[in-house]
Structure 1
């Protein structure tokens, strides 16, 4: 497929990298010549320098032959105009746009799929608050199954034991599957004999109702309920999150700008809004940071978020989360003084991939800063047209670094055991730890899965 990506920023570059290895013809448009040159050196793509909304630039980029346009520049207006030009002048079939301003979401008629980073990040953080100790919480099959990442800690019942022992620790009605393990940043394929070690990042799949039970086997869960939250940063994300969370928690918002703080205070109903610097140690002490259950550093400054989250942790806050735009920063700090590093680019990329992969999978999640993916494939066809229907999981020739966590059939999650047989209509949840193996996964599922 010929794909046009407008914008070579972090999201645009991530989308290009994700799709360039999948036999797509990709052209990236941006006004920054150096950024395009750097991207072209890493990927087998074509680049065009120019303003992405201009018809002449889109024509030069090959919009007439493109089946998909992905507008992810830093300007909502440019993204909207580009989609409109692509629809009216070039008849581009699918037009996806990133729109930060929520008001545009209601009037973007030229956009097939509108992605709001702020809404996505807010929902992502809400789920992390809902499950204390989780690093990621990913929904599949409309929430019937969840893939949860946790860091195994000393004292967890399963730490130091083989994965096959997990079933012995769970109640009779609970089943779960360890889908992947990352140890010191490297993937470890989960076998029955694999021993879970402290500090492992463990991804497991379970019915949404059983997540807390399974988490307790990998880490000691804090018995203290989450009540008090402190949000540093009153930008779009901080403001939206406070508005949602104040219905369930005691929320404080710390904002440096007095004018913005006043505006936020007028908008919120039950939250306390403070004016000050999130790196002010005296202020954090005055606000009883040691009695706060979760500290959320959500300013627009990566360094400020990292430093203030580390400070809050040192002052006694049991759980801290930082919004970090630079992937290299997030990789460095997560798991140390900072419990969770949230990357808006990776959250946005996951949403984009679910819409722009040819055929559109039901769900795609970009994991480990883009190195791995969790995919939900809806199987269609019959025994004649599909290479997977009617076959048991042990018969499938999966790539070495790919595992099937489970199958959602109707309202029931079937955990992936060797004798489970795939049927038409099943939602198969795969974990691909090495994205270079995606073409092999595609080849296996291409005849009968709804995302290929």
Structure 2
């Protein structure tokens, strides 16, 4: 699959890393040259500097041949324009756009070329699953080249980890917590952080199974 991702912030970069690791042809674009330069040694995707709201740039970046366009810039107006161009001008089969401000959610539909509108609080794994239409996110997120897995678990009100400090959770060997996403915002997984219902944890492991990780929290 050929994927073009507009917006090289935290979310766009993570999506690009996951899709590239799954064997897809990924292009990541951003208008900020410094942001792109900082990613050159950290990601295997094709990196391009430019304004994805400009039709000529979008075409040169590969929109005309893309199977999927994901607009995840920090501006809703840019995501809408990118979505409209991708669908109307380049006939991209699947267009996904992130909603930064919930008040703008009503705009993100087929009229602007958007197939999938994703609220800002949507977990990374769910976003990728919706974007690609993949039923097996575990296989999609398996970073075979790095020899590690990215595993997601969500803390529910019934999870036995509710109220526990991260330092008190016994993790499987070879497993670390990459981030705790709370209220849609990633936080540094400090040992003193206490888990709350709704917290989403992304963990990296080179040895544990998904079930072993889930068992540590659920």
User: What TM-score comes out, normalization by structure 1 length?
Assistant: 0.34
Would the aligned equivalents of 1:6 and 1:70 in 2 still touch at CA under 8 Å? yes
C-alpha distance in 2 between matches for 1:61 and 1:135: 45
Alignment-derived partner of residue 70 in structure 2: 70
- Determine whether 1:50 maps to 2:50: yes
Map 1:57-206 onto structure 2 (within 5 A): 57-108=57-108, 109=110, 110-118=113-121, 128=155, 130-131=157-158, 133-134=160-161, 181-182=171-172, 186-187=174-175
Would the aligned equivalents of 2:5 and 2:16 in 1 still touch at CA under 8 Å? yes
Give the aligned CA root-mean-square deviation in angstroms.
4.0
1:93 shift after superposition: 0.6
Q: Deviations over 1:115-138 (max 9, x none)?
A: 1124769xxxxx8572375369xx
C-alpha distance in 2 between matches for 1:103 and 1:324: 16
Would the aligned equivalents of 1:326 and 1:343 in 2 still touch at CA under 8 Å? no
Q: Assess, with a 3 A threshold, how the Cα gap between structure 1 residues 111 and 134 changes in structure 2: closer, same or farther.
A: farther
- Determine whether 1:401 maps to 2:207: yes
C-alpha distance in 2 between matches for 1:34 and 1:43: 15
C-alpha distance in 1 between matches for 2:15 and 2:209: 23
Matched position secondary structure for 1:40:
coil
**Structure 2: runs of 5+ lacking an equivalent:** 125-153
Alignment-derived partner of residue 39 in structure 2: 39
Matched position secondary structure for 2:172:
strand
Would the aligned equivalents of 1:9 and 1:73 in 2 still touch at CA under 8 Å? yes
Q: How many residues are treated as equivalent by the alignment?
A: 179
- Look at both structures and tell me which one has the larger radius of gyration over its CA atoms: 1
Matched position secondary structure for 1:64:
helix
Runs of 4+ in 1 over 6 A off after TM superposition: 321-324, 341-344
Map 1:196-275 onto structure 2 (within 5 A): none
More relative contact order, 1 or 2 (CA 8 Å, 6+ apart): 2
**Structure 1: runs of 5+ lacking an equivalent:** 122-126, 137-148, 160-180, 189-200, 202-320, 348-365, 373-399, 407-429, 432-452
